[in-house]
Structure 1
Amino acid sequence: MSEIIRHDTTARSSKIVEHGNTVYLSGQVGTAGESVTEQTKEILNKIDTCLESVGSDKSKILQAVIWLSDMKYFAELNEVWNAWVPEGHAPARACGEAKLARAELSVEIIITAAK
């Protein structure tokens, strides 16, 4: 059985969990109140940093689950996302609308990746 390794763990959650050759990132959010473009760029930078810290990168993302506070932000998010995803390495992806933890947040992204 593969060991489970948890990083940046609090009483509520872990920022990163490794199991075998799979990496799970908790929901990443940007700075509240910034534009959707700025929040998304910040989130994607956080994802890059998290993946690098465990020996992975964005070309190895298997799945992305994206929550928007309002689907009217879909095109704005996609513009930033499409520029970030390496050509030929688009993951399985879902995007939906949800009330996020704080009203000032517009985007949350959850990632599963290979190592």
Structure 2
Amino acid sequence: MSDIKRIKPGTRMSQAVIHNGIVYLAGQVGTPGADIQTQARTALESVDALLAEAGTDKTRLLQATVWLADMKDFAAANEVWDAWVAPGNPPTRACGEAKLATPDYLYEVIIVAALP
């Protein structure tokens, strides 16, 4: 198990796990109760911080899964995503609608990235 590194481990989960040169992030959410673009922006800021702590960045994304509380927010969330994702380095991505932890959450993103 020494080849597994956990970042910000808690009782229920770690915010990130590194194994075999891959970083797996827990779902990142934005500011509860804020509008979709604010939530997307703050969730992606959390992604940036965790990737930096793991020793990588968004140019090394492999996969992203985006959950929206309502697909009516798809275009607005994509505006934030498109401004954030590293040009020329988009990951594979899926986006779907899901009932999130509480009605205050509109956006959640799960990321997998490679270490340099």
TM-score, length basis structure 1: 0.97
What residue number does 1:95 align with?
A: 95
| Structure 1 stretches of at least 4 aligned residues deviating more than 4 Å after TM superposition | none
SS at match of 2:38: helix
**Percent sequence identity over matched residues?**
50
SS at the partner of 1:23?
A: strand
Aligned-partner SS, 1:39: helix
Equivalenced residues, count = 115
Shift of 1:104: 0.7
Deviation string 1:26-74 (CA, Å, 9 cap, x unpaired) is 0000111101000011011110010001110000010000000000000
Unaligned runs of 5+ in 1: none
Question: How far did 1:98 drift?
Answer: 0.3
Structure 2: how far apart are the matches of 1:23 and 1:86? 17
Residues in 2 aligned to 1:8 and 1:88: alpha-carbon distance in whole angstroms: 30
Q: Is the 8 A contact 1:66 1:107 kept in 2?
A: yes
Gaps of 5+ in 2: none
- Conserved? CA contact 1:68–1:97, under 8 Å: yes
What amino acid is aligned across from residue 36 of structure 1 in structure 2?
I
1:18-29 superposed matches below 5 A: 18-29=18-29
Distance in 2 (CA, whole Å) between partners of 1:45 and 1:113 is 15
CA distance in 1: counterparts of 2:63 and 2:2, whole angstroms: 21
After superposition, the CA RMSD in angstroms is 1.1
Q: Provide the residue aligned with 1:107 in structure 2.
A: 107
SS at match of 1:101: coil
Asked if 2 retains the 8 angstrom alpha-carbon contact of 1:64 and 1:112, the reply is: yes
Instruction: Report deviation, 1:2.
Output: 7.2
Number of the residue aligned with 1:83: 83
- Give TM-score, length-normalised by structure 2: 0.96
